Structures are given as C-alpha cells and as structure tokens.
Structure 1
C-alpha cells in the first residue's frame, strides 16, 4: 500500500518539472543565485549553500515574491520548527529537494 503524496511534495514536483538543466537553472535563479550554472552538478553544489524553507520557496514563487534566504541552518531550523513548515524527509529522493534539504533536528 502506497501512501498519498503530501501536498508540499506534489507542489514541489509540479514546480520543478522533469529535472532538465533548465529546471535546475530556474530553481537556482528563483532562490537568488545569479551565476550562470552550466551543469546540474554546479547547480546542486550551489544549492547546498542556500538555506530556504521549501514551503516558503514555493509560496514566494507562486505569488511572484522574492524567496527569503536564511543566513544559516540554525535560523532556518528554528523558523521551520516554530512555523511547522517541515518537508517530509521520507519523500526525499535524489535531486533538487535533496540539495535544498537541511538537517534541522
């Protein structure tokens, strides 16, 4: 029996798309990275240095706002726990979500 995909997982999957280089580059641009990344690997490495709440990332994109970036993992963790905005770890696969996900416990 498979469990129904949580709404946040579906929202991210819908936003990200098929995972082409262009999808990765769009994500990098959406989180405020202005460098021209020529490969998925370069995008992935750059995203590992960015601290964003995935719920807020999607809301900002959907509403045409800038994405809030936290200065460090601690600030992201405190905010995410306080607001109850946690991406379900069991749904993490390799790819952009893994590059963005931080251990906040």
Structure 2
C-alpha cells in the first residue's frame, strides 16, 4: 500500500473508531489508551491525553485487537519509534480541537 493510501486509511479508521466526538467518545479513547478515572468533560479528557505518548496507527490496531496500545514513557521514545516504523499520521488532517490534536506530538 502506498504512503497516500496508508495516510488516507489511518485517517478513515481513526475517524470511524472515534465517532461523533461526544463526551462518551472522548472517555472511551481515554480508557483505550489506559487513562482511568473520572473525566467529566471533554476538556479534562483532552488534558489527560496530552500526557500519553502513543502512536495513532498502533492505537487503531490495538483497539481492533481488544488491547491497549504501547505507551511510551516520553516523547523522544515515541519519536524514535514513529520514525523507525514510518507510522506517521498526516498533519494536514488534524482538526484544531479534535482527539488527534490531543494525541499528536511534533515528530519532524
């Protein structure tokens, strides 16, 4: 699969997984990446997600398999992993206030 097709596929898969963007969608995302606890608002979910370092491709794959994605202890290790595996999420597809924005880290 070419890079453009992979990029398009990951965007579609994540959007399908995430849903409409309700509070319940945000809370599910937090649970799926291993954030537990009471998160009563989208803002609280977004803040919690800023502390999690995961690869979005791995998140989508992990959810399909019913497991949690690999979490990296810091941004540097996530960057090294992302570059070595070439599992990039297309920056031009990031919505300003969406969940991908909360998960994105500057790689290059």
Partner of 1:80: 82
Partner of 2:101: 98
Aligned residues: 103
Q: Select which of 37, 43, 46 maps to 1:44.
A: 46
Specify which structure has the higher proportion of helix.
2
Q: Where does structure 2 lack aligned partners over 5 or more consecutive residues?
A: none
Mapping of 1:13-92 within 5 angstroms? 13-92=15-94
Comparing 4-13 with 77-86, which one deviates more in the overlay?
A: 4-13
Write out per-residue CA displacement over residues 17-49 of structure 1, whole angstroms, 9 at most, x where no aligned residue. 000000000000000000110000000000011
Secondary structure at 1:6 match in 2: helix
Q: Select which of 3, 9, 12 maps to 2:11.
A: 9
TM-score (norm 2): 0.91
Measured after TM superposition, the shift of residue 98 of structure 1 is 0.2
Query: What is the root-mean-square deviation of aligned Cα atoms in Å?
Result: 1.5
Question: Which aligned segments of 4 or more residues in structure 1 are displaced greater than 6 angstroms?
Answer: none
